[in-house]
Chains A and B, each alone.
Chain A
Amino acid sequence: MSILTQPWPWYITGPLIGLMIPLLLLLGNKAFGISSSLRHICAACIPTNVKFFKYDWKAESWNLVFALGMIIGGCIAGVVFKNPNNITLSETAVTSISTLGITNFSGLIPTEIFNFSSLLTLKGFILIIIGGFMIGFGTRYANGCTSGHSIMGMANLQWPSLVSTCCFFAGGLLMTWVILPIIMKL
């Protein structure tokens, strides 16, 4: 039982994520990638004449079913087999994150910032709404996300994916080291 409630080390998690690639290829000839599902949601749910969303999204419905599965899997792992303890972060990370003004380290995300009432604060609005917007706009513009580029693309030796992955990290470093400390003071 404890293997189902305890967090898994990287050498279990990473290889299992990697195995998604051959499983998707062998079971359905599908390339691993999640961000396309955001496009399919637009195509399926938003009545629009925009050319980018005029395609047969039903032919790609496997991607939406996969996303639905992830919600269910997240529920089983995060609710049914919930880890009763806080995440074991490195001590230096706890110190750094504390200096951002975060005191509550329970759960997977800092509930002090990510909650419904913080949507009405400038800080919460920027991190939740603008942050989400950047994920959707950026991944489609880059034609992939961490799964499609950093894992699938890199595993398939695609150099554009390497460029994208470097840019994902460059953006993340800029946010973490320069912009986030400013946002957290708002």
Chain B
Amino acid sequence: MKNLKFLVLGILFGFILIKGEVISWFRIQEMFRFQSFHMYGVICSAIAIGMISILIIKKFNIKTFSGEEIKIAPKEFTKGNVIGGLMFGLGWAMTGACPGPLYALIGSGSLIVIVVLLSAVFGTYIYGVLKDKLPH
């Protein structure tokens, strides 16, 4: 059961997302209307902690617990970063959710979000079908 650790991390992450209310449609509206610091504080402090962690890992060449070299694939730029990014932004403000929150919301009992998740899976599928015809 090599995936057990990821199950535990997922449980922790889902718990944090709900308790931090970052999965709330109300909070996302509040963020896009610049009416509260909450979401900005969450995002910026998460980036800061992530950044410091990655710097430490790189600086001291820290290995994984099983002794592997840690590798992080670079993000390559395509036109999709802009076009897809704008599309996702629209969907984010419509549903108040990004992919992670969809799972946490379903768990929290908002069963209608299952429909949002299925639509998102369908959207991903249609992207896969159209991929070669889209500008990249």
Interface of A toward B, CB cutoff 8 Å: 4, 7-32, 34-35, 37-39, 41-42, 45-46, 48, 50-53, 61-63, 65-79, 81, 87, 89-90, 92-93, 96-97, 105, 107-110, 114-116, 119, 126-147, 149-161, 163-177, 179-180, 183
Contacts and interface: CB of A to CB of B under 8 A. Distances in A.
A126 B90 CA distance: 12
Interface of B: 3, 5-30, 32-33, 35-51, 53-54, 56-57, 62, 64-65, 68, 70-78, 80-100, 102-113, 115-129, 131, 134
A22 B70 CA distance: 10
A73 B14 contact: yes
A128 B112 contact: yes
B92 to A, nearest CB: 5
Nearest to A75: B107
Contacts of A172: 28, 32, 89-90, 92-93
A26 B127 contact: no
Given A70-B104, A97-B29, 5 more contacts: A13-B20, A70-B103, A130-B119, A140-B124, A175-B94
Contacts of B30: 89-90, 93, 97
A7 B38 CA distance: 12
Nearest to B89: A171
Contacts of A183: 94
Contacts of A11: 41, 45
A170 B116 CA distance: 22
7 contacts: A9-B41, A14-B46, A16-B12, A66-B6, A145-B88, A147-B99, A169-B32
Contact of A27 (B9, B42, B77): B9
